[in-house]
Every structure is written in structure tokens, then in C-alpha cells.
């Protein structure tokens, strides 16, 4: 049990489908992240939420749409994806101190392996 739970573990979808990835953290953290891990590329930060507010969007295409209804849950809504979007999508959480640059190490979930056909 990592404290960060992602579902589903595996997902195969066609380019016209709509699906959502879910992430839940049980650590009481106040920041949540989506990362994309593709083969032979460094981890790419996609989105950051602090206290449920999106604070970073790393030029991610609009076919990826994040949602953070509360500080424990994070979703990534997917629609009209491309085959190059196939990757491992990792959710993470951390504890940030407001008004400071302090941030605890990130805790990661086991990821969702996404295949776009």
C-alpha cells in the first residue's frame, strides 16, 4: 500500500473513446500531481494542484483534462487520444507549507498503463 491509489491499473481505449483515470491519496497531503512516463523519456510533469487549485499546466494538450474535487482525489479525463499518448500515467501527492517553498518528497501511486489503439 503506497498511500496513493490509482485506478484502473491498465486501460485500453480507442481514439474516439472517453475515459477517466482516478487517483486517491490517503496521506493527508495538500498537493497532487499527474506525471506521464513514456518509454525512453524522462518523467514529464503534466498538472499540479495545490489546495485543489491548479497551479501548473505544462503545455498539455486539451484532450487531457484534470479535475481535483478535493485535496484527496484527482482525476484525469481523456478524450480523442492519439496512439502517442500511450504511456504510464503516474499520480503523486505531497505536503506543501503555504507561503513557503517547502514541499515534502512526492509519494507516487503505481500508475495506470494506458494503451491507445
Partner 1 sequence: AQSVTQLDSHVSVSEGTPVLLRCNYSSSYSPSLFWYVQHPNKGLQLLLKYTSAATLVKGINGFEAEFKKSETSFHLTKPSAHMSDAAEYFCVVWGSQGNLIFGKGTKLSVKP
Give the residues lining the site for partner 1 (CB under 8 A): 2, 4, 6, 41-43, 45, 48, 56, 90, 92, 96, 101, 103, 105-111, 113
Measured distance CA(109)–CA(6) in Å, rounded: 6
The answer for residues whose C-beta is within 8 angstroms of residue 59's C-beta and 6 or more apart is: none
Rounded to 10 degrees, the C-alpha dihedral 106/51/20/17 comes to -110
Closest contact distance (angstroms) between CB of 9 and partner 1 is: 8
Burial of 71 (0-12, 13-18, 19+ CB in 10 A): middle
Closest contact distance (angstroms) between CB of 37 and partner 1 is: 8
Q: Give whole-number Cα distances, 40 to 8, 31, 58, 88, 115, in Å.
A: 23, 27, 19, 12, 16
Q: Which is nearer to partner 1, 18 or 55 (CB)?
A: 55
Q: Which is nearer to partner 1, 5 or 80 (CB)?
A: 5
Closest contact distance (angstroms) between CB of 101 and partner 1 is: 6
Q: Which is nearer to partner 1, 18 or 58 (CB)?
A: 58
Closest contact distance (angstroms) between CB of 31 and partner 1 is: 9
Q: Which is nearer to partner 1, 11 or 106 (CB)?
A: 106
Amino acid at each position: 500500500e503506497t498511500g496513493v491509489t490509482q485506478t484502473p491499473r491498465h486501460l485500453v481505449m480507442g481514439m474516439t473513446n472517453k475515459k477517466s483515470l482516478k487517483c486517491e491519496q490517503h496521506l493527508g497531503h495538500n498537493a497532487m500531481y499527474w506525471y506521464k512516463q513514456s518509454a525512453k523519456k524522462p518523467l514529464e510533469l503534466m498538472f499540479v494542484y495545490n489546495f485543489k487549485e491548479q497551479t501548473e499546466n505544462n503545455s498539455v494538450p486539451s484532450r487531457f483534462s484534470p479535475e481535483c474535487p478535493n485535496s484527496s482525489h484527482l482525476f484525469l479525463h481523456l478524450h480523442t487520444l492519439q496512439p502517442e499518448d500511450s504511456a504510464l500515467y503516474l499520480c503523486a501527492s505531497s505536503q506543501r507549507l503555504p507561503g513557503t517553498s517547502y514541499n515534502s518528497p512526492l509519494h507516487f501511486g503505481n500508475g495506470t498503463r494506458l494503451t491507445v489503439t
